[in-house]
Each structure stands twice: as structure tokens, then as C-alpha cells.
């Protein structure tokens, strides 16, 4: 009896991320790309962008559908601090591989604008995410609600996903508590039950500042890739790191790109395509069963929901986008690596444990390939 209690306590401790976040890639000396980062090296370096998490961790042991163990959550990205329904922004979305869901994507690309906060959660909680955005928008007194934008990844390897533990209130809380500054990463919010390349992963973020002063910030929910595919700053780390028993199931990734550069929808869609290059730099091939989506928005202009005959804007010429493309690629790559560097090992349903990326071994590998001294 005592042994079972101790085992249950150990499983719960492994499930709980510690308060102090593990080091990020740059804290370990790993340099990705050449462009400088923003102040926080996060999507919130784009002025006005806010991020909120609600993390659900409860129970341990064998799966009991509807009871747990619970390893899931919600992440909300609020594009600016104003009423987004009344002050839309330019946006675009793209699917790298479509075995997944991002609601509202067709309307984003049809109209070229974003009207709501963006919500990330698990595959079977998209409905709750949708209803949560509706509830939040109705609380704002808008009188009407545009199509919610909810993107998902599958966390059923660690989480009682069929129990659908995410609620409407959790979604509203994630939106209402969104803040700027440093962004918690790893096993938080929608990333709580996610894994990448056979390691625990989840939420990651990074940013870049281009020579003309504009900022590009990226947030990912990383849940993709197989161990031997893993590349970190070009180093085949997955082949060098010790293999432990872990799932090789194909996964998914959601990439949210924010920029203060004055870009219009067709240019933002080009940024979404560059996110695919950032994903590819970490090694995954985006298999048939992957759900890999990117959404990009620009905070440069507010588009008031008022009746006017025309909007007058100034945008960057397409020939000026190369540095922003580079920034998107670098920030996407680093955000994925940050998700793995920060996430701690987690034990979930049926006592399955997903190991953390081992920092000491990773540093040895990076030194072996001349990327660290």
C-alpha cells in the first residue's frame, strides 16, 4: 500500500511543471539564426500582443475516461489590447498539412482580417474553445459574434482527451488573463500534454528584429516529429541523443506569427509559408497524418468596423520582405526548440512518461559538432 502511494505521488510530481522554468535554447548557449531577438525573445515583443494560459493537471495512474489523468489546457493569443471586434487587423492563414483543425480559417483568408482572439487547445476540445470565444465576445457587449478561431493538437498520449476537461470558463479565463512580457513555455496551457521528437514539448516562443526596426514574434504549440529527425541549429541531435521508450506517433504543430510591420493579407500568407521552412529546419517532414497550420497577423493598422467607403494604408513593398521572411523562419525554429528545452518530463495517463530533452547530453552533442565551445 505504501509503495503504491509513493508511486502515485511520484507520478503526480512528474506531471507538475516546476515554478522555475528550465533554461531556453539561448540560456544553454545555442544560437539559432543571425538576426537579433526582441526584449523577451517572445511573440509579446510585438507591441500589444498578449498571451494567456490555463493549465489543467490532475490525477495519475490508469486512464478513466471522464476522470483523468488530466494533462491539457488552453492558450489564448490576444493580438492587441483594444476591442478586436471593433478594431480588426490584417491576417492570413495557411495549412502545411491539413489533418487537423483551425476554425475560421476560410473566412480569415476570404476577408483578410482577424476579428477575435486566437485560441489553442486539444483536438477534442475545439467545441469548448469555440463556445468560449463566443462567451467572451458576448461579454464584451458586441451584440454579435464573428467566427471564432480555434486551433488544435492531439494530446491523448498523456491526457484523458476523451474526458473533455476543458470548459468554456477555462477559455474565457485564458483570454481575460492574457498579459505581455515573458511568456511561460513548455508544459503550460494548450501545450500541457504535447510532445515533439520523442521529448516533452508544448508551447514555445521567439522573436526577431529586422534591420528596419520591425519585429516578428512567433508562438508555437509543438507536437510533431520523430526522434531521429530532430535537428537543432543544423545539428542532427536526434541521432545522437539516447533513445528512451516513447511514442513515435505523428503529431501536429500550430504556429502563430505576429508582426508590427505594415503587411497586407497576401504578404501575411507568404509569412505563413515561411513558417513551414522554420518547422522543416527542426527535421520533421509533415507526414500525412499531421495537422500543421500557421496564422499570421499584423498589428500595424486597426481596421474599424465602421462604414467608410475606403481605407487608406501604406504597406511594405514585396521586395522589402526578405528580412521579415528570415525573421519568421528563425523565430519559428527557435520557438520549437525552446518548447523542448523548457518542458520538463511528464507522466500522464496509464503512467506513460514523456522524457525531457536532456540538457547535459544536448550540450555535449552541440560541442561535438562545433556549435558550442
Question: What are the grid coordinates assigned to 266, written together?
Answer: 497576401
Is 292 a residue of the active site?
A: yes
Look at residue 61 and give its three-state secondary structure. coil
Is 298 annotated as catalytic?
no
Residue 106: all three cell numbers together? 476560410
Which residues are registered as beta bridge partners of 256? Answer: 219, 295
| Contact status, residue 293 vs residue 346, Cβ threshold 8 Å | no
Tell me the H-state helices in 113-223. 126-139, 168-176
Q: Are 132 and 149 in contact (CB under 8 A)?
A: no
**Catalytic-role residue among 45, 155, 250, 292:** 292
Q: Which of 252, 260, 286, 298 is catalytic?
A: 252
How far apart are the C-alpha atoms of 156 and 285, rounded to whole Å?
Answer: 22
- Catalytic site residue from 187, 286, 290, 298: 290
* Integer Cα distance of 162 and 322 in angstroms: 44
**Within 10 A of 66 (CB to CB), how many other CB atoms are there?**
10
Active-site residue flag, 246: no
User: What phi and psi, each to the nearest 5 degrees, are found at residue 275?
Assistant: -60, -35
Q: Is 363 exposed, middle or buried (0-12, 13-18, 19+ CB in 10 A)?
A: middle
Tally of helices (H runs) and strands (E runs) in the chain? 8, 15
**How far apart are alpha carbons 132 and 116 in whole angstroms?**
11
Rg value, the chain, Cα: 20
Q: Are 112 and 289 in contact (CB under 8 A)?
A: no
Cβ neighbours around 325 below 10 Å, total: 16
Please list the active-site residues. 252, 290, 292
Amino acid at each position: 500500500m505504501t509503495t503504491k502511494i509513493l508511486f502515485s505521488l511520484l507520478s503526480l510530481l512528474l506531471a507538475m511543471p516546476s515554478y522555475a522554468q528550465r533554461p531556453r535554447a539561448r540560456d544553454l548557449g545555442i544560437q539559432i539564426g543571425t538576426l537579433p531577438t526582441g526584449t523577451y525573445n517572445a511573440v509579446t515583443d510585438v507591441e500589444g500582443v498578449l498571451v494567456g494560459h490555463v493549465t489543467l493537471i490532475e490525477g495519475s495512474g490508469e486512464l478513466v475516461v471522464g476522470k483523468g489523468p488530466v494533462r491539457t489546457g488552453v492558450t489564448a493569443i490576444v493580438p492587441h489590447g483594444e476591442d478586436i471586434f471593433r478594431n480588426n487587423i490584417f491576417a492570413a492563414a495557411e495549412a502545411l498539412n491539413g489533418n487537423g483543425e483551425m476554425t475560421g480559417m476560410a473566412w480569415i483568408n476570404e476577408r483578410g482580417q482577424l476579428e477575435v482572439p486566437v485560441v489553442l487547445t486539444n483536438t477534442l476540445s475545439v467545441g469548448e474553445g469555440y463556445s468560449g470565444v463566443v462567451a467572451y465576445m458576448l461579454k464584451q457587449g458586441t451584440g454579435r459574434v464573428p467566427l471564432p478561431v480555434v486551433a488544435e493538437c492531439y494530446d491523448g498520449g498523456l491526457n484523458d482527451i476523451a474526458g473533455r476537461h476543458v470548459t468554456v470558463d477555462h477559455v474565457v479565463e485564458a483570454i481575460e488573463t492574457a498579459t505581455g512580457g515573458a511568456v511561460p513555455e513548455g508544459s503550460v496551457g494548450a501545450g500541457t500534454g504535447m510532445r515533439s521528437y520523442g521529448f516533452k514539448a508544448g508551447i514555445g516562443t521567439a522573436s526577431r528584429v529586422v534591420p528596419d526596426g520591425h519585429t516578428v514574434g512567433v508562438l508555437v504549440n509543438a507536437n510533431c516529429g520523430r526522434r531521429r529527425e530532430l535537428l537543432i541549429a543544423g545539428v542532427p541531435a536526434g541521432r545522437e541523443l539516447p533513445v528512451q521508450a516513447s511514442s513515435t506517433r505523428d503529431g501536429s504543430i500550430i504556429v502563430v506569427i505576429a508582426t508590427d510591420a505594415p503587411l497586407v493579407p497576401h504578404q501575411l500568407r507568404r509569412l505563413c509559408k515561411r513558417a513551414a521552412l522554420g518547422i522543416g529546419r527542426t527535421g520533421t517532414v509533415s507526414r500525412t497524418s499531421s495537422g500543421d497550420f500557421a496564422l499570421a497577423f499584423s498589428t500595424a493598422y486597426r481596421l474599424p468596423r465602421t462604414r467608410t467607403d475606403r481605407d487608406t494604408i501604406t504597406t511594405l513593398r514585396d521586395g522589402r520582405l526578405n528580412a521579415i521572411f528570415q525573421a519568421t523562419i528563425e523565430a519559428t525554429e527557435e520557438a520549437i526548440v525552446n518548447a523542448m528545452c523548457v518542458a520538463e518530463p511528464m507522466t500522464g495517463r496509464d503512467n506513460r512518461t514523456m522524457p525531457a530533452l536532456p540538457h547535459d547530453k544536448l550540450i555535449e552533442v552541440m560541442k561535438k559538432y562545433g556549435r558550442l565551445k
